[in-house]
Amino acid sequence: MSGIPVHADEERQRMMHRVREVVKEDPLQGWDKAWQENVTPWDAGESQPPLRDLLVSGEVDLPKSGRALVPGSGRGYDAILIATTLGLETTGLDISPVALEAARAHAAASDLPVGTKVNFEARDFFALAPSPESRYDLIYDYTFFVAIEPSRRTEWGRQMSALVKPGGYLINLAFPLAPKPYEGGPPHYVKPEHYQEVLGDGWEKVLDKVPERSLEWHKGNGERIIVYRKL
């Protein structure tokens, strides 16, 4: 098993292999190099259907005011969706200047409702220093968890616990969920319980299901939407 989604088309698989090459060469600057080369297999050209469905379904009583964070936000589709659907002041983070430029351009070209608050910042998620006044009501993770080295997942869990305020939510769109462990990445091997293992006991799982709608190339590759509430 390689971790490359089996239903990805040939071009997307080629891009995934190239991402692995540049990130292996430089774990930080490699991401910007991938954007410079337009090697972005995770960029679907739209927001994720499972997130769209969750936000409008009312299945989880998500906050309608406050602040949201999207680490590894890429071109910003999901950050914009959260800002426009929930009305949260949303910040997308990325370490790639090219990705941030693309996200800002996409937001500027979109017909956003008046009052939408969304911005994109060049900041390292792991370097954020939260205070009680600066914590978030919602954080969304899609492919960020599988992009970082597995050795940093415990740090990811600590940082999520520090950044989300009590009563706030963490939405994880877990993908790809390979049936067997594999070496290498990104995307690195993940199974749903890996999130809970590093988050610890200070969270309540309020939703864990296979999405009813997914991108075509996600189907058959294992995908779950998992929502936690901070206690």
How does pLDDT run across 14-36, given as a tens digit for each residue? 998 999 999 999 998 999 999 99
| Enclosing domain of residue 191 | 43-230
Residue with tokens 């864990």: 208
What domain count does the chain have? 1
Domain contains 15: no
CATH code assigned at 218:
3.40.50.150
Residue 203 has pLDDT above 50, yes or no: yes
Asked whether residue 99 is assigned to any structural domain, the reply reads: yes
For residue 20, is it within any domain?
A: no
Note whether residue 94 is domain-resident: yes
Structure tokens at 139: 């954080």
pLDDT at 186 over 70: yes
pLDDT at 1: 44
33 vs 10, higher pLDDT: 33
Inside any domain, residue 192:
yes
Residue 26 belongs to a domain: no
Residue 155 lies in a domain: yes
